[in-house]
Chains A and B, each alone.
Chain A
Amino acid sequence: MSRARLVERWLPGTLAVAGVLAAWELLGRGGTLNPALLPAPSVVLATLVDVVRDDALAPPIARTLALMATGYLIACACGIALGVAMGRSEAVHALMEPLVELVRPIPKPALIPPLFLFLGIGLQTMLFIVVLAAFFPVLINTVQGVRGVDPVLLDTARTLRLSRRATVLRVVLPAALPMVATGMRVSLGLALTLVVVAEMLAGENGVGFLILDMQRAFQIQKMYAWLVVLALLGLLLNGAFEWAERRALPWRAHLS
């Protein structure tokens, strides 16, 4: 991209972010905002720097990410596996679809209280709810992706006498991958959301736990500092996903 186009692309948005931050800062310093409820950005930033200096930043992030990644990967593996089965077999689809459609619309945080009864208030519930939330978008998109594979491609696999296994691995899955990736992207956001909610309700550590804990301890500046960490984490995960997606699906841009 040329320099002029870069400026054109990024300048308005950057100005908007800077404008909001400046207004927030000015209102904070002018005394319009109650600093006990909403400290100015410079104060939040200073608090964040303190957290970093105390070496207190990495451990909660690591715990949150570990929990989220574990749940996310389990959800993706299960969602893709069942999605391929449902997409390839009418019988499996007829068997599973009503069940899926019954559980899928339930807002997943609502399931946390009953899960406490079965799995206790702790790690198992947190992991389970992340898996459950991230599972459905991957599943639904995989089913659609697999069902949408061009019949010519499937007939090509047949006339070349590929085995069922080779057909799935070499033709169906790669062809469905763009759709699967769309589901995985939605799931990534849901996994982060649910890990934060779960940590607030059942955690003893992690970023979600800390945000609630700081609010209860009236450490409002630290609460906002961790909120900023969470926002950056979301941004980073999304960026990493997009990067991986571009690398894994270079042909997508070239399909009409």
Chain B
Amino acid sequence: MKNFQLSAVRTTGTAPPPTHSTPDSPRADGIRLAHVARRFGSGDAELTALRDIELEVRAGEFLAILGPSGCGKSTLLQIVAGLLAPSAGEVLFRGRPVTEPPEGMVYLFQQYTKSLLPWRSVAGNVALAFEADRRLTRQQVHARASEYLGLVGLAGFEKHYPWQLSGGMQQRVAIARALAAEPRVLLLDEPFSAVDALTRVELQALVLELRRQRGLTVVLVTHDVDEAVFLADRIAILSKRPTVVEEIVETRIPHPRDAIETRELPRFLELRHTLMERLLGREPRP
């Protein structure tokens, strides 16, 4: 466990080249949001959370969606995931409209304590993602759960229960379970906001490493500028409600990213500065 954490903070290897596949190829994992809007309530109480979202997620990229609190970031991600229907517009994944959670896409919840099943062991929680597959024997199910737990540094914790683990470890279980569904696209809803600062650094490194190993497309929703700049290849900046995409920024920060050194790069500091200014509504410095 200790060794793993140390090695995980410094991600290794090189970033995958963003696979710019043709948008209309059905195998491409790209996502397109066309005029997505979402309203809640009706009549006088009607609230327009999302006004008109135009956004493209390229296959293989790490896209951060950054916006102030209450701008509908989570709503947006739930629409992408097929968990929530848009009031207007549509989401296309692999060229097909998303109407329910599609195969190849998994949503990771911010509230890992609510997302894990307290009556199941850690291995049982991971197995939830694939145990319906009748071709697998009990032993195979268990072996596969162990394998995914190993990926997130939780080998040996199979028989523990979620409530016996720290917050960071619980979120690792949730990550292992998400990976166990064999997704091509990982949707992260502020997954590190409920853990302490050091654990957050470790989990960020873990996600970057897993994404590299498995060539995943990742969409991250966050209000944390530092996190968005550190993790993402591109950052979509959302306006206040009613929300639109204001701008998309390429981070142009090289991989592999290091928890300490990357944050000292001039490009990192510059980007963080301008994005903070925008989110806080300050005038840019001359």
Contact = CB atoms under 8 A, between A and B. Distances in A.
Interface of A: 150, 152-153, 155-156, 158-163, 166, 170-171, 174-175, 177, 249-251, 254-255
A173 to B, nearest CB: 10
A254 B161 contact: yes
A156 B118 contact: no
Given A152-B111, A160-B181, A177-B119, 12 more contacts: A152-B115, A153-B117, A155-B78, A159-B81, A163-B132, A170-B128, A175-B117, A175-B119, A250-B119, A251-B119, A254-B118, A255-B163
Most buried by B among A156, A162, A163, A255: A156
A255 B118 contact: yes
Interface in B226-257: none
A161 B163 contact: no
Interface string B111-143: 100110111000000001100100000000000
Interface stretch (B89-97, B101-109, B214-222, B278-286): B101-109
B223 interface: no
Nearest to B177: A160
B132 A166 contact: yes
Given A153-B117, A155-B83, A255-B118, A161 B161 contact: no
Contacts of A158: 82-83, 100-101
A254 B181 CA distance: 28
22 contacts: A152-B109, A152-B115, A155-B78, A155-B83, A155-B107, A156-B109, A158-B82, A158-B83, A158-B100, A158-B101, A159-B81, A159-B101, A159-B106, A159-B107, A160-B177, A161-B101, A163-B132, A174-B117, A250-B119, A251-B161, A254-B118, A254-B161
A251 B115 contact: no
Name A's interface SS.
Answer: helix
The contact size tier of chain B is 20 to 34
B150 to A, nearest CB: 20
B110 to A, nearest CB: 9
Contacts of A161: 101, 103, 181
Contacts of B78: 155
Contacts of A177: 119
Contacts of B103: 161
A153 B174 CA distance: 12
A174 B163 CA distance: 16
A250 B163 CA distance: 11
A161 B117 CA distance: 16
A185 B82 CA distance: 40
A229 B114 CA distance: 46
Nearest to A162: B132
Nearest to A150: B114
A213 to B, nearest CB: 47
A53 to B, nearest CB: 47
Contacts of B109: 152, 155-156
